[in-house]
Structure 1
């Protein structure tokens, strides 16, 4: 029985390692997408699109690992929740990677058009959701539900920042009709970042479920 337990724990650590790699890549993709936007570096924006395949591949590896663990180890109760939650978190991280790609696509749509204003507040949102993503993995790794609950509060701040950003951009649109495309793309980018916050909140909910066995809605 002891050897079986050690094998399971080793397999679970391997699963966590793949998940950490996914988080690292998604965090980097968000950062690169912001750098591409701020500097209008279209080459970097294209690179973000290309690197998405790495996140997708890791997501598939995690899917296969979860299937293997369930069929070979036949875990029950808390162990099963740990595995299932890893799968759910990988899905959210994969979608965060997709959102980083969407930001890069918006940067490509803006192209080399002079920016209507310095890009300052949007990168601040990106930094905040990047920190949230890292905290979510830590909460999963440490099984820290207090940290998971903190993420819901931080997401509220992201939602408020998104609301302010949209109001500001709509004001620019009325005063600068020639910049409608750029302003629209900046609004899309803000929305993508707000969605990243939602995915991190999903991760927090699943972490609480993993530890407590209870399903909570932190987006209320």
Structure 2
């Protein structure tokens, strides 16, 4: 019986959202040129050819930003996004920061998207990070792991103060706790609902400082103490 050679059939190259997966060549964010994907980068390394990267991935460190060029350095110069010895972020700014349980992360971010048109004109940058749970009485991570939603705003304190009540109302269904040292519109009643040990804190303050030596307007507003 005569053997008939059948050429091997290649699977078609797939496209997802306009990206050619076979070879994994894709555009960088600026659309200026194609950037090699992981498979092509490996072939370039084996062949000893240089690998082109997106411009944002090649930035060296400077006085205000941590290096993003893959260079080796001590952990304290690579983990922070702002160098320790520098002025963080822009310097001329105001900030707000809220902590929501990690299980609510996606829903909380979706809720904030409705305010995007009001947020954007006043925003420098938004930072998202996760933090592990602890059992400290006034810790924003008390009880469970959280997503931190941090906004670094342009120095528009009046506009940000006007926006915060709506922003915090959006986060209220997800028990969004504000950062103690940043802008917030929440008062003592709202804070008490978010921190189950507030009553213990008030009792401790009354016992340790009966003469109100360390009392302040801020403490009275947010802790009712």
Q: Do both share a fold (TM > 0.5)?
A: no
Bigger-Rg structure (1/2): 2
Normalised by the length of structure 1, the TM-score is: 0.23
Give the helix-richer structure, 1 or 2: 1
Give the strand-richer structure, 1 or 2: 2
Normalised by the length of structure 2, the TM-score is: 0.23
